[in-house]
Amino acid sequence: MRSFPGPAIEIVDRMRAAAAADPARAIAFQGSPGANSHRAATEAAPDMHPLPCFSFEDALEAVKDGRAGRAIIPIENSQHGRVADIHFLLPESGLHIIGEYFMPIHHALMALGGGPFEAAYSHPQALGQSRHYLRARGIVPLSHADTAGAAAYVAERGDPSVAAIAPALAAELYGLTIIENNVEDSPDNMTRFVILAREPLAPAALAGKPVMTTFIFEVKNIPAALYKALGGFATNGVNMTKLESYQQGTSFAATTFYADIIGAPGDPAVDRALEECAFHSKELRLLGSYEQARARG
């Protein structure tokens, strides 16, 4: 798939060749070389070959069909909330979460010229994280598939009146000038990534470690079903650190919930809580148990 901007294609082909030579040690990410997910892949798995993929679906598919042993996907940002579509894509992928990684996010405004700029291209998440900066300068935000891809596109377009918001590495890769660093609106901008594989971690690999478990469930369409489904976590002392709802389909009658808890199946308290949740649900599916990258609570 060659949907990357022209300046990125040579780098993409080189990285894909390295991954193809040793697929088990490849880690797929969404975006062009230089994207935040590229940086996350190299930091979270420094012994693996980063494999750039155009979309989240492509990155997950690379693991499913054996072109990569892992994928690293951003799931939520401290400033801009959850990453769009991820809660739908993870369950559909059939992959298992085996780890998490937290990475501070810093954006730079970069361009061919020195400004002023009519517009700036970037991924919607980055645009949202820099919206106050852009608004104050009258720069129109324009969506692109990923941050580094936006930088490559600006380089390819050759228009000095447009800029990109991307990691500083992208300016180096695509020959742009950094106009200003740290244009994100919040200094504590943080993204949480999850690492996925075809097989779940064995319980023995998590023994004695602080563990998270991620799952989705759809409660029965009866009064107090959600209250009863969640009650087991309270009565069994299981800490739920995240609960989000999203709609499945177009009827708006079936709500699915995405949840993180501390602990893993095999712990009697967790087993009891999940059993009670499942009793009051039409479906409950575990997405993975994995070591905490940072303490909760």
b/e per residue, 92-112, with b = 16+ CB within 10 A? ebebbbbbbbebebebbbbbb
163: CATH: 3.40.190.10
Q: pLDDT class for 125, splitting at 50, 70, 90?
A: confident
For the chain, how many structural domains are there in total? Answer: 3
What pLDDT score does 87 carry? 78
**Which residue has 């690492």 as its token pair?**
195
Burial category of 290 from C-beta neighbours within 10 Å (exposed 0-12, middle 13-18, buried 19 and up) = buried
* pTM score, whole prediction: 0.91
What pLDDT score does 1 carry? 45
Domain span including residue 257: 206-291
Does residue 136 sit within a domain? yes
* Residue with more model confidence, 82 or 162: 162
Least confident of 23-27, 41-45, 252-256: 252-256
CB 254 within 8 A of CB 273: no
Q: What is the mean pLDDT of the chain?
A: 93
Same-domain status, 68 and 118 = no
What pLDDT score does 16 carry? 97
Vertex 17: Cα angle to 16 and 18 (nearest 5) = 90
* Residue with more model confidence, 48 or 88: 48
Does residue 296 sit within a domain? no
Please report the sign of the dihedral spanned by the C-alpha atoms of residue 49, residue 91, residue 75, residue 121.
positive
Does residue 185 sit within a domain? no
The residue type at 100 = E
Does residue 279 sit within a domain? yes
Does residue 152 sit within a domain? yes
**Residue range 41-52: mean pLDDT, rounded:** 98
Same-domain status, 83 and 15 = yes
268: CATH: 3.30.70.260
Instruction: Considering only CA atoms, give the Rg of the chain.
Output: 21
Tell me which residues are annotated as active site: 191, 193
CB 20 within 8 A of CB 165: no
Q: pLDDT class for 186, splitting at 50, 70, 90?
A: confident
Does residue 1 sit within a domain? no
What pLDDT score does 80 carry? 75
Two tokens, residue 47: 């012994």
What pLDDT score does 88 carry? 82
β-sheet bridge partners, residue 102: 192
Two tokens, residue 146: 């990923």
**For residue range 205-259, what is the model confidence (pLDDT) as tens digits?**
999 999 999 999 999 988 999 999 999 999 999 999 999 998 776 666 668 999 9
